[in-house]
A = this chain, B = another copy of it.
Amino acid sequence: MSSTSTRQGLIIVNTGDGKGKTTAALGVLLRAWGRGWNISVVQFIKQETGRWGEVQAAEKLGIEWHSMGDGFTWKSKDLDKTTEKVQAAWSLAQEKIAGGVYDLVILDEMTYAFRFGWLDLHEVISWLRANRPPAVHVIITGRDAPSELIEFADLVTEMCKVKHPYDRGIPAQPGIEF
């Protein structure tokens, strides 16, 4: 962990139906990397095999990146497997947060795990309260952040869609959206 004397770790939540939830977390990652911090990213939904721009960037930067999901798992037919994968992601996240090595841990698309009942929100918050070292920043992203999570967090931003190119039939652009 980098020097933490004056640092107050924040619980940050990026939610809402607009673009920019994961993207803003990546921006923080870039800033933190610029300052020489240790960073770990745990993705709860994105597939292990994805070669997104951010995964390529993290690799080039030497940032630890774990894509633990199996895609858009709420459409999955094998929900036991999904539950297992999400719980494995949370175990890994706990290890990263509590371990004292990382300054910033990003839990990408974690809110879906609460929404679909794969993780118990109350247990997650209790664990974070008891086990997160005070200097460690944690960012949680995803739509529909539950109100208890918003209550618990220090910094919450809602990304609101004003206008999206999908609406005009323009597909997602590589480099911009993924």
Contacts and interface: CB of A to CB of B under 8 A. Distances in A.
Contacts of A178: 31
Nearest to A18: B157
B103 A19 contact: no
A145 B139 CA distance: 27
Interface in A150-177: 150, 153-165, 168, 170, 173-176
Contact of A24 (B24, B35, B54, B56): B24
Count chain B CB atoms within 10 A of each CB in A10, A19, A60, A175 and give the residue with the most.
A175
Number of chain A interface residues as a range: 35 or more
Contacts of A173: 7-8, 10, 137
Interface of A: 7-8, 10, 12-16, 18-20, 22-35, 37, 52-61, 103-104, 137, 150, 153-165, 168, 170, 173-176, 178
